[in-house]
């Protein structure tokens, strides 16, 4: 119903996606790692749509990463295969994982404990299939995974490889510590450190007689600025790059023109006594994830560097000038403002539909999957 209309016709708040920017971001990442001879396994967690998955895999519908089983089922139901569930195995979801492993040609799971491995051993797969298991390794990111320096990590990898019910598919590290970087040089330092750690770990396995078929690291910053040694890996798994956002721009992963998404909002109130505009986008439309890290508040207000999104309730946003008096005549009631989100993953999760546009005209909508 929206095709051919301008963005100004949309009901707000509206999550909009510039499809040309998405396609450009996808192709650049594909080209970057083809040149390095490394398999790109894109993460679907940012957008969770079939259309974007198609773009990121260049139409193959193969070799993706998901963060929820809802995503895994969603993509499997639409013909995607070779799916890695990159989340420490939840014990309440072993049966769901088994159903996908038995159904797909390649459904991979990830573990970081002996207890998780034991769960897989207890649930044998049909037709003599073996669980495809990745070891999650923590290379100083400090979230999930066994420490790469822990002798127990090598023992767990050996145990995965020697059991008849499981097969060691590879070792997997998320270099999310790049998110605290500032600038390309700092990103490259983390990318190099993570790459070196994961390659050394794989080498230790090989020396111990354990074949490690795949080595994979990933984050959008590190994969936006890969170091040459990343060419020695077999895979990378970035995700946010498909949309990018203000956070990635601040880190140094991308430029403003690479950010594909905006949230449109309308002015719904003038409050001169507070020197403030009220808009119809609260934290349910943009998220609170910035935590005040942007000079412009919770989002960048496109085209208005003098304005700041100072606060939000569930459905309302409060905009004030960074300094001086607000000229309310420039922002009549009903006028549109465009917000560039701090974190596109968090913002996308707030919206049940994405409005896709090209050259200012709406070309369609994408519907993401939801749930866990």
Tokens for 158, please give them: 């050996």
Cα–Cα distance measured from residue 368 to residue 312, given in angstroms and rounded to the nearest whole number: 25
pLDDT tens for residues 93-146? Answer: 999 999 999 999 999 999 999 999 999 999 999 999 999 999 999 998 888 889
256-366 sits in which CATH class? mainly beta
Q: Look at residue 336 in the predicted model and tell me its pLDDT.
A: 98
What pTM was computed for the model? Answer: 0.96
Tokens for 120, please give them: 């897989």
Cβ pair 177, 227 in contact under 8 A: no
Q: Look at residue 142 in the predicted model and tell me its pLDDT.
A: 87
Residue in the structure block whose two tokens are 């990898």: 157
Q: Look at residue 22 in the predicted model and tell me its pLDDT.
A: 98
Q: Establish whether domains 80-238 and 256-366 are of one fold.
A: no
Which residue ranges make up each domain of the chain?
A: 80-238, 256-366
In sign, the C-alpha dihedral spanning 364, 237, 140, 188 is negative
| DSSP class per residue in 99-153 | HHHHHSS-EEEEE-SHHHHHHHHHSPPGGG--EEEEEEEESS--SSSEETT-HHH
Strands 307-312 and 146-147: what pairing?
unpaired
Cα–Cα distance measured from residue 361 to residue 117, given in angstroms and rounded to the nearest whole number: 51
pLDDT tens for residues 241-292? Answer: 999 999 999 999 999 999 999 999 999 999 999 999 999 999 999 999 887 7
Cβ pair 183, 221 in contact under 8 A: no
Domain 80-238, classified CATH 3.20.20.10, yes or no? yes
3-state secondary structure labels for all residues of the chain: CCCCCEHHHCCCCEEEEEHHHHHHHHHHHHHHHHHHCCEECCECCCCCCHHHHHHHCCCCCEEEEECCHHHHHHHHCCCCEEEEEEEECCHHHHHHHHHHHHHCCCEEEEECCHHHHHHHHHCCCHHHCCEEEEEEEECCCCCCCEECCCHHHHHHHHHHHHCCCEEEEEEEEECHHHHHCCCHHHHHHHHHHHHHHHHHHHHHHHHCCCCCCCEEEECHHHHHCCCHHHHHCCEECCCHHHCCCHHHHHHCCCCHHHCCEEEEEEEEEEEHHHCEEEECCCHHHHCCCCCCCECCECEEECCCCCEEEEEECCCCEEEEECCCCCCHHHCCCCCEEEEEECCHHHHHCCCCCEEEEECCEEEEEECCCCCC
Q: Look at residue 291 in the predicted model and tell me its pLDDT.
A: 74
| Residues of the chain with confidence (pLDDT) below 50 | none
Tokens for 358, please give them: 């090209």
H/E stretch holding 73: helix 69-76
Residues 6+ apart with CB under 8 A from 84: 41, 64, 65, 66, 108, 110, 134, 172, 237
Which residues make beta-bridge pairs with 311? Answer: 318
């Amino acid at each position: 119903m929206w095709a051919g209309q301008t963005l100004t016709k949309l009901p707000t708040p509206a999550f909009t996606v510039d499809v040309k920017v998405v396609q450009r971001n996808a192709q650049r990442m594909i080209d970057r790692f083809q040149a390095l001879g490394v398999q790109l396994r894109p993460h679907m967690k940012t957008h969770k749509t079939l259309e974007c998955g198609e773009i990121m895999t260049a139409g193959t519908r193969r070799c993706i990463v998901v963060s929820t089983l809802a995503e895994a089922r969603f993509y499997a139901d639409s013909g995607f295969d070779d799916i890695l569930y990159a989340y420490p195995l939840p014990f309440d979801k072993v049966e769901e994982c088994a159903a996908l492993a038995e159904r797909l040609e390649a459904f991979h799971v990830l573990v970081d404990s002996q207890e998780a491995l034991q769960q897989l051993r207890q649930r044998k797969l049909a037709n003599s299939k073996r669980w495809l298991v990745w070891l999650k390794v923590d290379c100083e990111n400090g979230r999930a995974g066994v420490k790469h320096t822990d002798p127990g990590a090598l023992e767990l990898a050996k145990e995965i490889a020697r059991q008849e019910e499981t097969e060691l598919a590879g070792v997997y590290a998320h270099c999310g510590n790049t998110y605290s970087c500032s600038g390309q040089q700092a990103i490259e330092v983390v990318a190099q450190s993570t790459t070196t750690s994961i390659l050394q770990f794989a080498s230790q396995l090989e020396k111990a007689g354990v074949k490690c078929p795949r080595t994979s690291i990933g984050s959008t910053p590190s994969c936006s600025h890969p170091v040459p040694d990343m060419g020695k890996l077999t895979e990378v798994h970035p995700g946010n790059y498909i949309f990018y956002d203000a956070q990635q721009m601040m880190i140094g992963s991308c430029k403003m023109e690479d950010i594909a998404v905006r949230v449109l909002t309308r002015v719904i109130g003038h409050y001169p006594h507070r020197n403030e505009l009220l808009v119809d986008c609260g934290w349910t439309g943009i998220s609170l994830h910035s935590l005040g890290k942007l000079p412009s508040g919770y989002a960048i207000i496109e085209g208005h560097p003098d304005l700041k999104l100072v606060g939000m309730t569930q459905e309302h946003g409060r905009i004030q000038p960074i300094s001086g008096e607000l000229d309310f005549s420039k922002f009549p009631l009903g006028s549109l403002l465009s917000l560039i989100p701090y974190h596109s993953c968090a913002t996308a999760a707030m919206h049940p539909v994405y409005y896709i546009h090209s050259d200012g005209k709406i070309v369609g909508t994408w519907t993401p999957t939801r749930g866990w």
